[in-house]
Amino acid sequence: MKITAAVLRAVGQPFSIESVTLDDPGPGEVLVEIAGTGVCHTDISFKQGHWPFPVPSVLGHEGAGRVAAVGAGVTSLAVGDHVVMSNASCGACPSCLSGMPAWCPNASRLNNSGCRPDGSSTLHDDAGDIHGNFVAQSSFASHALSRDRFVVKVPEDIPLHLVGSFGCGIQTGAGAVLNVLKPAPGSTALIVGLGAVGLAAVAAAAASGCSRVLAADMNPDRFDAARTFGATDVIDASAGPLPELVRALLPTGVDAAVEASGSPRALRSAFESTHGSGRTVLVGAAPHGTEYALDSRSVLSGRTLVGAIMGLSNPRVFIPRLVDMYRRGQLPMEKIVQTYPLADIEKALADSASGAVVKPVVIP
């Protein structure tokens, strides 16, 4: 079928809005009519070549919409279902079989190769194939194909343009807290970096019953959103060394921290803001090859650092949990989402990169 898509013809160049051909859904596949796709810093990193993905291609990986058609063998979804799309995993490795698809060793190949697992392309133009299947969707488009295992049904009363990021950014931040840190009620937490990922971590810490949720960023424009998402304290990270600013509020440091900015300096600051047995989760996406430095004394004290891709979530289990948080008012997405027509995707990406908008969403 003919669809409209934002096509990346060369790394680092603007998207072009084009009419391209998308395959009909094959066995196990689902065709989704996109209602909205969130812009994530991962899209920007791939577009700029910081992470590899072949071109020409269609990016976009925070898609939500309605099922338009299903392929042979699909029984879990039906035409008209409202869905959120998430990332691919193989479903057969020990990690997948144990309910931990975020650890799937085949995930990079399945999400970032630009084709189906069998090597075929889902997208085409008059010149040949276009690389798609980006994070199992390529949803900067009017329609996208995915596998039924990576598509999660959501209630029809949930505004679809608000929840596409539940498949990536919001899942990453909230999962870092709820799946990894699992803070006890009354404990204390620090979230560094107040984009969508960091704000989701703030919301999850507040929902967990943390007595103090400290939210730090160098952009004071994010502080109102942080308070709305549940922060008890906000910190201007440009005002001085972050560990000192944290200990001015909590003299022994925090129990747990989430680093969501992708800055090596911020990671060290978050790590050193915890107390001697504190835990820090790294979820901020830095370019491939980025190295992190920690002071040996802060490591030997007993602090723990762990990385968590996709919040160590099982999307089929965790996305419904995020929907419940949204319904409870714990994830007020309407406060951070701004919509753009697909034709203005470059503006959406620029506003995301500059921090002018927390969560741009492109609408086909």
Question: Same fold for the domain at 2-153+332-363 and the one at 173-309?
Answer: no
The pTM (predicted TM-score) of the whole model is 0.96
Look at strands 2-7 and 29-38 and give their pairing. Answer: unpaired
pLDDT of 104 reads: 96
Tell me what pLDDT residue 72 has: 98
How would residue 349 be classed by pLDDT, with cut points 50, 70 and 90? very high
- The pLDDT value recorded for residue 50 is 87
* DSSP sequence for 158-216: S-HHHHGGGGTHHHHHHHIIIIII-PPTT-EEEEE--SHHHHHHHHHHHHTT-SEEEEE
CATH of span 2-153+332-363: 3.90.180.10
Q: At what angle do helices 242-249 and 264-272 cross, to 10 degrees?
A: 30
Share of the chain above pLDDT 90, in %: 93
% of the chain residues with pLDDT over 70: 100
Q: How far is CA 39 from the centre of its chain?
A: 9
> Which of 151, 149, 193, 152 has the alpha carbon at shortest distance from 283?
193
Q: Determine the average pLDDT of the residues in 212-240.
A: 98
Question: What local confidence, expressed as pLDDT, does residue 245 receive?
Answer: 98
Rg (CA), the chain: 20
Mean pLDDT (whole number) for 126-154: 97
pLDDT number for residue 289: 81
Q: Residue 286's pLDDT is what?
A: 78
308 has pLDDT over 80: yes
pLDDT at 290: 86
Return the CATH fold of 173-309: Rossmann fold (3.40.50)
Could you give the CA distance from residue 73 to residue 301 in angstroms, rounded to a whole number? 54
Q: Does the pLDDT at position 58 exceed 90?
A: yes
- Given a cut of 80, whether residue 287 has pLDDT beyond it is no
Reported as a single tens digit per residue, the pLDDT across 229-284 is 999 999 999 999 999 999 999 999 999 999 999 899 999 999 999 999 999 999 98
Q: d(Cα 262, Cα 193) in Å, to the nearest integer?
A: 8
pLDDT at 266: 95
- The residue with tokens 């129990």 is 255
The yes-or-no verdict on residue 79 having pLDDT over 80 is yes
Q: What pLDDT, on the 0 to 100 scale, is given for residue 288?
A: 76
Domain boundaries, the chain: 2-153+332-363, 173-309
Mean pLDDT of the chain: 96
Whether residue 76 is predicted with pLDDT greater than 90 in this model: the reply is: yes
Task: Output the pLDDT for position 331.
Answer: 98
Average pLDDT over residues 330-348: 98
